Amino acid sequence: MAQIKQEFLNSISEILPSHLSLEEFAHFNSQPLRPAIRVNTLKTDPASFIAAMTPKGWHFDPIPWCHEGFWLTREDESVQLGNTLEHLAGLFYIQEASSMMPPVALAALVDRVDTLLDMAAAPGSKTTQMAAWMENHGLLMANEYSSSRLKGLHANLTRMGVSNAILTHFDARVFGATLPEAFDAILLDAPCSGEGTLRKDPDALNNWSLASVESIAAMQRELIESGFQALKTGGVLIYSTCTLNRRENQEVCRHLKASHGDAVEYVDLSRLFDGADKAVTEEGFLHIWPQLYDSEGFFVAALRKVGPVAGEHRTPRLGRFPFVPAPGKQVQALTDHLKSRFGITLPRTTLMARDKELWLFPEGSDRFIPAIRMQRLGIRLAEEAKHGFRISHEALMLLGAEACKAVELDDDQAVTYLMGRDLPMDNGAKAKGEVLVRWRGTPLGQAKWVGNKLKNSLPRDLVRDNVAKI
């Protein structure tokens, strides 16, 4: 454990509620975090997952605020959680317990959302949690400013089976002026100084200073202004950080209220779950000190927009939109191909075409198409080839669970497949060409059945050096 900076401890002692002690704060920060996972309800359900994993020595301790969240203890910890077949197949997400709280707050406060914006989404723990809650319906715009992190976000959405997301790649300060009053709900899980993450990363505060806190808070004020402008009147914005100081938390929300007065309503989160009142602030926000729930430090505020707000409007400069609705003949050909080769029924939705590619756009995305440039507009399903179609990995990951033609792999075969190797098939069957491969009903990707083997067609960037069965 690295030494905690005295200047940081001094700043904490000034704001720690009187019933909590600084010694306890330092003590909890020196303890490792309890590993936590969230079961992916797009692919399984908590009861089935627990029933499958308990005999393998996994013990689940429910996280009080998230029905799908569990603290996990394992009898054998020799295998890294991220290398397990269950993780790679997208049955669960490794996610710190307190980080599950912002989407839970959102789900508790809005009945239904058609349009949801996640302003700072990578690597996607909360995006995938919200997509699961939306059951892949409606439109989830997942934005990330960092190019390198966008790739990981996309990989996580595919692994977890998210089909209602479009990805954008902006500084999120553009949303308010570009898409005012556009979203039913917004999550701003803001970039922050990370004071709550010391248990995960003892070096988290190496670059911490009061001056850096100030400059991050200035950016957060601009981000929340932008988000609030992009929110529809009546909608809810959840503002969260994994930091503890008031400048980046309460004061960012207060700044918004000072700017827009009665249009901003603080929503009381004290009854979000049993025991939430321990963390509640005078405004009704949740300020999660690590010792309260033995977790990371976190902050969650819920802000309802009860009236419109003034703000600049900007018409973005857009290039030519490269997609057109796919011609009926092409759609029919793809529908037939998916049905005959994989037993997949294509959902009844508009497909878009770009040159030889066919894309599936999430419902409701058309309303944003003239307004904003997208990084990835949905799912690239297939590319027309000389004799039929080349079906994408993404398409099979998203549609393959329902397919009635697939090669089911056992645990050892699934490990081999995810390590990018070919699989011997000694049953003397005739060559079958492109096939969908699944493990326990969960799609893993595709392969080409040639002679006595399955030739591996997993995209190279998904091939893993380490995969383990438990």
Contact footprint for ligand SAM (CB under 6 A): 99, 119-126, 143-146, 149, 171-173, 189, 191
Q: Rank residues 143 and 392 by Cβ distance to ligand SAM and give the closer one.
A: 143
Q: Which tokens is 382 given?
A: 């297939």
Length of the chain: 470
Active site residue 404: no
- 3-state helix/strand/coil string of 284-295: CCEEECHHHHCC
Give the helix, strand, coil percentages of the chain, each rounded to 5.
35, 25, 40
Can you say which residues are annotated as belonging to the binding site?
120-126, 144, 171, 189
Q: Rank residues 126 and 221 by Cβ distance to ligand SAM and give the closer one.
A: 126
Strands 115-118, 183-189: pairing kind = parallel
Residue nearest to ligand SAM (CB): 120
Smallest separation (angstroms) from ligand SAM to the CB of 453: 38
Long-range contacts: 205-208, Cβ < 8 Å, 24+? 205/4, 205/5, 205/8, 208/5, 208/8
Smallest separation (angstroms) from ligand SAM to the CB of 56: 27
Smallest separation (angstroms) from ligand SAM to the CB of 358: 30
Which is catalytic among the residues 66, 192, 242, 253?
Answer: 242
Can you say which residues are annotated as belonging to the binding site for S-adenosyl-L-methionine?
120-126, 144, 171, 189
End-to-end CA distance of the chain: 30
The answer to whether the peptide bond before residue 123 is cis (omega within 30 degrees of 0) is: yes
Q: Rank residues 123 and 180 by Cβ distance to ligand SAM and give the closer one.
A: 123
Q: Rank residues 86 and 189 by Cβ distance to ligand SAM and give the closer one.
A: 189
Q: What is the dihedral of CA 60, 66, 68, 74, to 10 degrees?
A: -20
Residue with tokens 């959902």: 347
Smallest separation (angstroms) from ligand SAM to the CB of 267: 20
Smallest separation (angstroms) from ligand SAM to the CB of 252: 14
Please give the Cα distance from 185 to 179 (Å, whole number): 13
Strand runs labelled E in 144-198: 165-168, 183-189
Buried b (16+ CB within 10 A) or exposed e, 94-124: ebbbbbbbbbbbbbebbeebebbbbbbbbbb
SS3 395: helix
**Half-sphere exposure (CA, 13 Å, Cβ side) for 75?**
8
Q: Rank residues 35 and 308 by Cβ distance to ligand SAM and give the closer one.
A: 35
Smallest separation (angstroms) from ligand SAM to the CB of 103: 9
Q: Rank residues 99 and 457 by Cβ distance to ligand SAM and give the closer one.
A: 99
Strands 442-450, 453-456: pairing kind = antiparallel
Catalytic positions: 242
